[in-house]
Amino acid sequence: MILGWTLALLGGVICLVNFYLSFLRYPLFRALGGKQEEWRWVSGFPLVGSVLVAIAWIGWLRGLDSLTLDVLSLTLVALDTGGFPWFILSMAIYALFGTKDDGA
C-alpha cells in the first residue's frame, strides 16, 4: 500500500511538472517580465509520470475500490504532456494536418 502511494505521489508530481513546463512556464516567464530572447526551453520527463501513476493505479485496482483514486489517476495521466495520451493526440494531429512545411 505504501509503495502504491509513493509511486502515485512521485508520478503525480512528474505529471504536474510536465504540465507546468508545457503550458504554464512560458506565460509566467513573460508575465514576470522575461524577454523572448532570454527564453530557454526545458524538457520534461516523457512517459515517466504516466507510467508511475499507471503502475500505482493497477496496484490500487488489486487492493482498493475507490472512485476518487480512479479519477485522480486518470486526471494525472491526462495532464502529463509527456505521456502516452498526448503522444497519440500529437500523432493524430500530425497525420490529419501535417506540418506547415510539407516539403514543397
d(CA 101, CA 94): 12
Concatenating the DSSP letter of every residue in 9-65 gives HHHHHHHHHHHIIIIIHHHHHHHTT--GGG-------TTHHHHHHHHHHHHHHHH--
Residues 36 and 30: their CA atoms lie apart, in Å, by 8
Residue 2: CB atoms within 10 Å:
6
Q: At residue 24, does pLDDT exceed 80?
A: yes
> Residue 49 and residue 30: Cα distance in Å, rounded?
27
Answering whether pTM is above 0.75, one says: yes
Domain count along the chain: 1
Q: Is 17 a member of any domain?
A: yes
Q: Supply the range of the domain harboring residue 12.
A: 2-34+45-97
pLDDT, tens digit, 9 for 90 and up, residues 85-103 = 999 999 999 999 887 665 5
